[in-house]
């Protein structure tokens, strides 16, 4: 860097430092006055910082790759409340620290919808974290000290605007795991929103946490301020697998 670019970088004007030659050339070409030049530098810095902030939020969200909601086949499920999904995509639930719970069998697009809602939250400037229930509980249960556990509980409970827990109900957990999940839910209760996807109705949740005394309290906290979206129908993945089979082997009967 030139001495001027180096000074700009130290002042935190990273975009101006990296593009100093282009900025000076543009100023000469457009005959920008001092005030106009400063306005241009400020505008470009703001745009660059917004882009870096978005990039950071996307990375920290751990959303990964997902299909856009435009690819969702609304005609396939036998039952789905599209208005409720659209409201969630508009992030209306965040204002009241409400939860969104997507309930349905495997392969009906629950995770896809949850990822799209989370992505909209990222674009709106919220901090988001997407992970499976198994990943959350493995992390919490693996802490080897009370201080370490408290630090991770704060991470999931207060440092993330929107927490998305995917695939609740696919595995069973012991009472300690039920207590850990309860702590996360209870700490976020009426403070910050959750999105959950589950393949089980709430009446079946005690099978996820057998013999756990906190299971009922956990369910109570979750559903008290929740928009519950039930999805019914046959698996998309089964349909896609069947379509692929017919494409590859058109003359073969199943």
> From CA 71, how far away is CA 219, in angstroms rounded?
32
78-94: buried (b, 16+ CB within 10 Å) or exposed (e) per residue? eebeeebbeebbebebb
pLDDT of 244 reads 62
Structural domains of the chain, ranges and CATH numbers in brackets:
3-61 (no CATH), 69-239 (3.40.50.300)
pLDDT of 248 reads 66
pLDDT of 99 reads 96
As beta bridge partners, residue 245 has: none
The contacts of residue 86 (CB under 8 Å, 6+ apart) are none
Torsion sign, CA atoms 62, 217, 171, 91: negative
pLDDT of 173 reads 86
pLDDT by residue for the chain (254 residues), tens only, comes to: 579 899 999 999 999 999 999 999 999 999 999 999 999 999 999 999 988 888 988 999 999 899 999 999 999 899 999 999 999 999 999 999 999 999 999 889 999 999 999 999 999 999 999 999 999 999 999 999 999 999 999 999 988 999 999 999 888 888 899 899 999 999 999 999 999 999 998 888 888 888 767 888 888 999 899 999 999 998 876 666 656 666 666 766 55
> From CA 244, how far away is CA 98, in angstroms rounded?
40
- Torsions phi, psi for 40 (to 5 deg): -65, -45
pLDDT of 238 reads 61
pLDDT of 202 reads 85
């Amino acid at each position: 860097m030139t001495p001027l670019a180096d000074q700009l970088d130290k002042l935190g004007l990273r975009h101006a430092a990296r593009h100093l030659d282009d900025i000076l050339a543009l100023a000469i070409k457009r005959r920008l006055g001092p005030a106009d030049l400063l306005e241009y530098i400020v505008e470009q810095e703001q745009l660059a910082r917004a882009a870096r902030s978005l990039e950071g939020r996307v990375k920290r969200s751990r959303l990964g790759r997902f299909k856009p909601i435009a690819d969702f086949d609304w005609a396939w499920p036998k039952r789905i409340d599209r208005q409720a999904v659209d409201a969630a995509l508009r992030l209306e639930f965040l204002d009241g620290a409400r939860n969104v719970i997507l309930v349905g069998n495997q392969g009906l697009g629950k995770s896809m919808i949850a990822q799209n809602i989370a992505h909209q939250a990222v674009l709106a400037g919220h901090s988001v974290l997407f992970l499976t229930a198994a990943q959350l509980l493995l992390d919490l249960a693996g802490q080897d000290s009370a201080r370490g556990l408290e630090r991770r509980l704060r991470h999931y409970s207060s440092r993330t605007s929107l927490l998305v827990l995917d695939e609740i109900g696919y595995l069973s957990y012991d009472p300690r795991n039920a207590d850990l999940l309860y702590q996360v839910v209870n700490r976020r209760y009426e403070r910050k929103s959750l999105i959950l996807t589950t393949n089980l109705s709430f009446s079946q949740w005690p099978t996820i946490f057998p013999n756990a005394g906190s299971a009922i309290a956990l369910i109570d906290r979750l559903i008290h301020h929740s928009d519950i979206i039930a999805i019914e129908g046959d698996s998309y993945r089964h349909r896609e697998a069947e379509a692929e089979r017919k494409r590859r082997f058109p003359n073969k009967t199943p």
